[in-house]
């Protein structure tokens, strides 16, 4: 997909423009940065269709909750750079962007700490039955509070297995050690000996990690290698007393296998912030007592979302001005 020279020449004299594909409210937001105009889709309905109709006007794109596919890129005759609004970029066809000569970046700096904190919150809520007991208290169905089935699981001295030891996985390890957890990890590439010492983390194969862990926390991006990484076979390797946390991507876990596993108490429970079909997860997940669910809100604090927007915009502006971006992925 090569751009024709006359198309680029036609737009060379025009002012550079950036499009943000979702209505936003950000502190200190300006509609012009360093002489580059910034426009925002004000209507949240059919954002893909709106973007598709207008994409030929823009040099840069901040991509929020829409797919950037070959059809979109075919029309993006001026487009030079896309920044994902977040650390995940599986909604962007990176191969098609490369063929079109469009750079792709993401925003790891502003997402790392809030996502790791969310993973800790989900783990504690699940292990200490916070969400379950909250529901039973409010619905007057708790019964006697000291019953054994109201008791949670001790966090300290348990083993946390981290799948994906990147920025967020490392932040998760740091926080978990403060709770007295033992850290093991699996990663596509093993960490250096220095990093293993810093994070007091021991490398395991995926099968051995699943077998040994009391808690498994997923922090891997979704790609061809990680899709359905945790399926029926992998879930069977986990202890019946173990917990599964996912703040990575929904497609990393086979949801049919997980539902069967939870319904039959093959593991103790799961807490997920991400699902294959967002924002409408499977009905079974909403009714399972041993499942905690949240609506992909790992970065849902005002400060984090402001930081994500400023980082994403910073990526696009930097690239258009010939400077380095925070994190270029393609």
Secondary structure (H, E, C), 200-211 = CEEECCHHHHHH
Assigned superfamily of 5-109+302-320: NAD(P)-binding Rossmann-like Domain (3.40.50.720)
Which helix or strand (DSSP H or E) is residue 66 part of?
none
Q: Is 276 a residue of the active site?
A: no
State the pLDDT at residue 184. Answer: 98
For the beta carbon of residue 225, count every other beta carbon within 10 angstroms.
9
Does 42 qualify as catalytic in the annotation? no
Residue 39 is classified by DSSP as E
Task: Check residue 43 and give its pLDDT.
Answer: 82
Count Cβ atoms below 10 Å from residue 244 Cβ, excluding itself: 28
Torsion on CA atoms 263, 266, 271, 272, rounded to nearest 10: -70
Q: Provide the pLDDT for residue 33.
A: 83
- One fold for 5-109+302-320 and 111-293: yes
Residues with pLDDT less than 50, the chain: 1-12
Q: Which of 249, 255, 305, 311 is catalytic?
A: 249
Which residue in the list 39, 202, 263, 278 is annotated as catalytic? 278
pLDDT score for 149: 78
How far apart, in whole angstroms, are the C-alpha atoms of residue 142 and residue 139? 8
Catalytic residue (one of 47, 167, 219, 296): 296
pLDDT of residue 147: 80
Query: Closest Cα partner for 203 from 157, 161, 159, 248?
Result: 161
- How high is the pLDDT of residue 44? 79
What's the predicted TM-score (pTM) here? 0.90
Q: What is the pLDDT of residue 232?
A: 98
pLDDT score for 6 = 40
Q: Using one digit for the tens of pLDDT, what is the confidence trace for 84-117?
A: 999 999 999 999 999 999 999 999 999 999 999 9
Instruction: Give the CATH class of 111-293.
Output: alpha beta
CA dihedral 215, 220, 222, 225 (to 10 degrees): -100
Average pLDDT of the chain is: 93
Return phi, psi of residue 200, to 5°.
45, 50
**Cα atoms found within 13 Å of the Cα of residue 48, Cβ hemisphere only:** 11
In the block, tokens 């967020």 appear at 168
What span, in angstroms and rounded, lies between the C-alpha atoms of 141 and 219? 35
210-249 tens-digit pLDDT: 999 999 999 999 999 999 999 999 999 999 999 999 999 9
Local structure of 124: helix, strand or coil: helix
Confidence (pLDDT) at 4: 41
pLDDT value of position 27: 66
Tokens found for residue 283: 């009905």
pLDDT at residue 11, as a whole number: 46
Domain regions of the chain by residue span: 5-109+302-320, 111-293
> What are the tokens at 54?
């207008």
Rounded Cα distance between 126 and 139, Å, is 19
| Catalytic annotation present for 255 | no
């Amino acid at each position: 997909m090569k751009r024709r020279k006359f198309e680029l020449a036609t737009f060379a004299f025009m002012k550079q423009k950036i499009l943000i594909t979702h209505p936003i409210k950000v502190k200190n937001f300006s509609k012009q940065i360093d002489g580059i105009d910034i426009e925002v889709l004000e209507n949240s309905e059919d954002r893909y269709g709106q973007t598709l109709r207008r994409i030929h006007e823009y040099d840069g794109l901040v991509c929020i909750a829409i797919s950037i596919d070959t059809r979109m890129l075919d029309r993006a005759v001026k487009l030079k750079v896309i920044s994902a609004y977040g650390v995940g970029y599986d909604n962007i066809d990176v191969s098609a962007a490369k063929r079109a000569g469009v750079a792709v970046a993401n925003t790891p700096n502003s997402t790392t700490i809030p996502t790791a904190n969310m993973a800790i919150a989900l783990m504690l809520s699940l292990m200490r039955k916070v969400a379950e007991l909250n529901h039973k208290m409010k619905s007057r169905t708790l019964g006697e509070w000291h019953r054994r089935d109201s008791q949670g699981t001790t966090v300290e001295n348990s083993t946390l297995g981290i799948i994906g030891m990147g920025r967020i996985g490392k932040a998760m390890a740091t926080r978990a050690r403060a709770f007295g957890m033992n850290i093991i990890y699996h990663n596509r590439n093993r960490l250096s000996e220095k990093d293993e010492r810093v994070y007091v983390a021991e490398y395991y194969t995926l099968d051995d990690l699943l077998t040994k862990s009391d808690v498994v926390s997923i922090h891997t991006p979704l790609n061809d290698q990680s899709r359905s990484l945790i399926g029926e076979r992998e879930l069977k390797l986990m202890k019946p007393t173990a917990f599964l946390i996912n703040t990575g991507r929904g497609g990393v876990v086979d949801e049919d296998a997980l539902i069967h596993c939870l319904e039959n108490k093959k593991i103790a429970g799961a807490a997920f912030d991400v699902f294959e079909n967002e924002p409408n997860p499977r009905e079974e997940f909403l009714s399972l007592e041993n499942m905690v669910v949240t609506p992909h809100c790992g970065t849902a604090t005002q400060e984090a979302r402001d930081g994500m927007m400023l980082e994403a915009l910073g990526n696009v502006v930097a690239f258009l001005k010939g400077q380095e971006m925070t994190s270029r992925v393609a």
